[in-house]
Structures are given as C-alpha cells and as structure tokens.
Chain A
C-alpha cells in the first residue's frame, strides 16, 4: 500500500469516525442508528485484506473512544475484529462476488452487535438484551445494509485496483 493511498484511507476512516460520532449516531430510526464507521471498516477489510482491515478498525475505534469519552479500547476491539473478519472473508471466498459487501456488512453487523453486548455485559454495564439485540440492532442492520453498497463504491474509489495485491498461490476447486 502506497503512502498516498494510506493517507487517503486514514482520512476516510477519520472522517467516518467523526461523522459517526457527531451526526450518524443521532439519526435514530425505529430504535437504532446505522454505524457508518463499522461499514467503512468492513469495506476496507474487503478491499485491502484482514491486516489493514484490523489496523484501520483499531484506529477508527480509538478515535470514537477518545471522542465519546467511553472506556478506551471497547470500540477498537469490536472494529479490529470486524475489519479482520471482513478481510478474511475477502481473502478466502468473498472477493469478486457482487453481493460480498452486503453479506459481510449484514453478518458482521449482527456479530459486532452480539459481541459488543457481551463485552459491555462482562464489564458490568446495565444493558437490556432485548433492546441491544433486537430493538436497536434490527434498524441498525437495515441502515448498515443501505450504506453498504455506496460506502463500498467510495472505498473502491479511494483504494485503486493497483493497491489490492493478489499474489496468493491458493486455488479453489470448481466442480
């Protein structure tokens, strides 16, 4: 990844973290709000792979934790794993599939919601499971799915095709 591309992606993650904290979190419809930063991190994971996905997820999460004065590391941990999972999906079976962004965003939004709930529960936060896993998660899932394709297109425009390395020796058997 070139320095220019890294700078562009960093700016994208920073802007997404800012937009998420300042605006998107307040766009509550039906009990939940979309998570723009999560969608950006997933799309970066799909485009760049598991390690850059995890790194940008960690950095974006840290910005959110600093801005919201929340327990440091919580959002970083969730987004690190989200970026990593998205990257692994792309590295194994997902890349090149037209619906990969929707599949990844849908699955990882649910997993991140459940993981976030478990994490907060373990830290002793008073969180109601029905609210966190149904009332808030369902509208967030719909919002994230609506954002998936436009954000993926934006990430594709930010990270050029030449930046996506394809040097693996892995093969798949098609019957």
Chain B
C-alpha cells in the first residue's frame, strides 16, 4: 500500500478553502437565480430590460463582426453541400419552372378579375402581403444554444422601426414573429418553436387550420384543426390566413407562404385531420431575414 499526494488546487475539501469555495459558488448561483427571477417575472418592461438592452447593444458589434468573419466559411460549406444535389435539383427545377410558367399566366388572369370584382363590391380586407408592408432587411447574428428555444437574434431593433409582434419572412416564406426588441437587436421566435402558432389556409381548397410545430421534432410543422370534411392533398401549399374580425386582425398578413403538405391522415377517434407540412424556409441556415413593418408606421 502506498500513499501519494494528489496534485490539486489550493482549495481542498475541508477547512477554510472549502468554505471559500462554497461561498463563491453559492454567491454565483444565488446571483443567477436572482437574475432569472427578475428577468422572468418582470417581462418586457421590468428592471432588467434596460440592462439586457444595453448589454445586447454593447455586444452587437462583436456579434456582427464574428458573423462577417464566419460568412465566407458558411458560404463555402453551402457551396460544397449544394454540389452533391446539383444534378437532381436542376431536373426538378426545370419541371417546376414549366409548371409555374403556366400557373403564372392563369394567376395573372385571376388577379385582374379579382381586382375588378373587389372594386365592384368595395370589399374590405385585412392587411395584405407584400403590398401593405415595408421590409427591414436584417442580418442574423445569434441563435440560442441548446434545444430549448427555437429563436434567432437579428441586427435590427426599435431604431429601425421594428416592434414586438412584427412578422418576419425570407424570400422562401414565413420565418416567425418578433418577440423582444432592443435598440439595435431583436429576438425572433421561429415557426418551429413549441409556442408558435399561425392561422393558415390551404391555398387550393381554402381549408382553414392552424400551423404548429410538430412535437418532438426540430423542423417539422403540422397543419392542425383541419376538419375531416376538408379535402387536403399531398403537395398543397399552405399560406397564412390573415383573418380580420372587427378591429382585431391576425398578426400575420394574408398570403405568406409557409410550406407544402407532405402527408395527410386521419383516424376514427380524432376530431381533425393529421396534416404534416414541410416548411419552405430552411430554419437551420438563416443568414438574413426581412421584418415586415406596416407601411402606415413608416409614413
């Protein structure tokens, strides 16, 4: 049997060193708990809001700098990644272009007819996308670590006209909603967050429902609350409904693309159909987004 000294730090497991260690970690844990309590209980206008806003503003230039440095590497990764699927993508896109060309001509006729009928009826409608909104383009500068929040932070805030509850899009479709704004940054709750929900319609059948995040997945959405008598098909496009009821209206304007139906099912016991959607937006590789600001606010 041999006895040897353990090479460790000056804080042993007993005596004054242990007391100092426990005191230090106790203070830090207590401080964290106080911050959590204040931040959680006070909401958007509490005592810590100003501190967090100031902290975020101070750190923003560093985040933007890191993002700029990382961008070429991200682009290179995307370029290499896209090479593997380039051939099959090209064939798929050629077929899609032909189909879309025909649909564009039909849509143009429908649009002219729609405008004419609206003028005849003096039809009142909710805010429409994109005609009644101006967009604020912003770089994505942060994503919370871990699986607990599906959110991004962008480099645009209240001084750019961004407010809480402004919808956020990309060229592909709906991204989410602004949930927290500081002077120069804003936090966006992604559509894939467990707490996000959007009223939507099937573009072909006009069947209404609510788009939610599919529980237990990262980026799959479900089109919920769709009645069984509605006819939903695989490949249908789902867009925001943009309803209006008196002075109340949806946070999302009408007609923002959300995704494409990938599966439809129903059981005898369920009240509604089970519709799964593949979102148009790739939430994992968002570099920049557009915040939709009502045109009347910018005037």
Using CB atoms and an 8 Å cutoff, list the residues of chain A in contact with chain B.
14, 18-26, 28, 31-33, 35, 37-38, 48-51, 54-55, 58, 61, 63-77, 80-81, 84, 87, 90-93, 95-96, 113, 116-117, 120, 123, 125-128, 130-132, 135-137, 140, 164-175
**How many angstroms between the C-alpha atoms of A135 and B216 in the bound complex?**
8
Chain B residues closer than 8 Å to A18, beta-carbon distance: 62-63, 66
**How many angstroms between the C-alpha atoms of A53 and B51 in the bound complex?**
25
Tell me the dominant secondary structure on chain A's binding face: helix
Report the minimum CB–CB distance from B36 to chain A (whole Å): 4
A34: nearest chain-B partner, CB-CB: B145
The one of B3, B146, B153 in contact with A171, judged by C-beta atoms closer than 8 angstroms, is: B3
The one of A26, A76, A95, A169 in contact with B32, judged by C-beta atoms closer than 8 angstroms, is: A76
The reply to whether A171 and B6 contact each other, CB–CB distance below 8 Å, is: yes
Report the minimum CB–CB distance from B241 to chain A (whole Å): 23
Chain B residues closer than 8 Å to A19, beta-carbon distance: 66
The reply to whether B5 and A174 contact each other, CB–CB distance below 8 Å, is: no
The reply to whether A80 and B284 contact each other, CB–CB distance below 8 Å, is: no
The reply to whether B143 and A55 contact each other, CB–CB distance below 8 Å, is: no
The one of A23, A55, A127 in contact with B66, judged by C-beta atoms closer than 8 angstroms, is: A23
- Of the candidates B10, B25, B59, B284, the one having the most CB atoms from chain A within 10 angstroms of its own CB is B25
The reply to whether B24 and A51 contact each other, CB–CB distance below 8 Å, is: yes
Report the minimum CB–CB distance from A160 to chain B (whole Å): 15
Report the minimum CB–CB distance from A30 to chain B (whole Å): 10
Report the minimum CB–CB distance from B86 to chain A (whole Å): 21
The reply to whether A26 and B56 contact each other, CB–CB distance below 8 Å, is: no
**How many angstroms between the C-alpha atoms of A116 and B32 in the bound complex?**
13
Chain A residues closer than 8 Å to B52, beta-carbon distance: 65-66, 69, 72
The reply to whether B36 and A131 contact each other, CB–CB distance below 8 Å, is: no
Using known A-B contacts A131-B217, A136-B218, A173-B3, determine if residue A90 contacts B8 with beta carbons closer than 8 Å. yes
Stretch in B114-122, B180-188, B270-278 touching the partner? B180-188
Count, chain B residues at interface, CB 8 A: 66
The reply to whether A69 and B180 contact each other, CB–CB distance below 8 Å, is: yes
The reply to whether A117 and B148 contact each other, CB–CB distance below 8 Å, is: yes
The reply to whether B7 and A77 contact each other, CB–CB distance below 8 Å, is: no
The one of B10, B11, B147, B285 in contact with A32, judged by C-beta atoms closer than 8 angstroms, is: B147
The reply to whether A58 and B31 contact each other, CB–CB distance below 8 Å, is: yes
Pairs A-B, 6 closest by C-beta atoms: A73-B35, A136-B147, A49-B9, A66-B55, A77-B32, A126-B194
Q: Can you list, as one digit per residue, whether each of B10-39 has a CB less than 8 Å from chain A (1) or not (0)?
A: 111100000011001100110111111011
Chain B residues closer than 8 Å to A174, beta-carbon distance: 1-4
Question: Can you report 23 A-B residue pairs in the complex whose CB atoms are below 8 A from each other?
Answer: A21-B145, A25-B145, A26-B286, A33-B145, A50-B9, A64-B145, A68-B149, A70-B151, A71-B39, A72-B48, A73-B31, A74-B32, A80-B29, A80-B32, A92-B13, A95-B6, A116-B148, A132-B146, A132-B148, A136-B218, A137-B147, A166-B8, A170-B6
The one of A14, A92, A123 in contact with B36, judged by C-beta atoms closer than 8 angstroms, is: A123
The reply to whether B145 and A24 contact each other, CB–CB distance below 8 Å, is: yes
The reply to whether B143 and A69 contact each other, CB–CB distance below 8 Å, is: no
The one of B148, B185, B186 in contact with A127, judged by C-beta atoms closer than 8 angstroms, is: B148
The reply to whether A128 and B20 contact each other, CB–CB distance below 8 Å, is: no
Report the minimum CB–CB distance from A165 to chain B (whole Å): 5
Using known A-B contacts A20-B145, A25-B143, determine if residue A48 contacts B9 with beta carbons closer than 8 Å. yes
**How many angstroms between the C-alpha atoms of A77 and B27 in the bound complex?**
11
Instruction: List 9 other contacts, CB 8 Å, given A75-B145, A92-B6, A125-B195.
Output: A21-B63, A49-B11, A50-B9, A66-B56, A66-B59, A67-B142, A125-B148, A135-B216, A168-B5
Chain B residues closer than 8 Å to A123, beta-carbon distance: 36, 40
- Of the candidates B3, B39, B58, the one having the most CB atoms from chain A within 10 angstroms of its own CB is B39
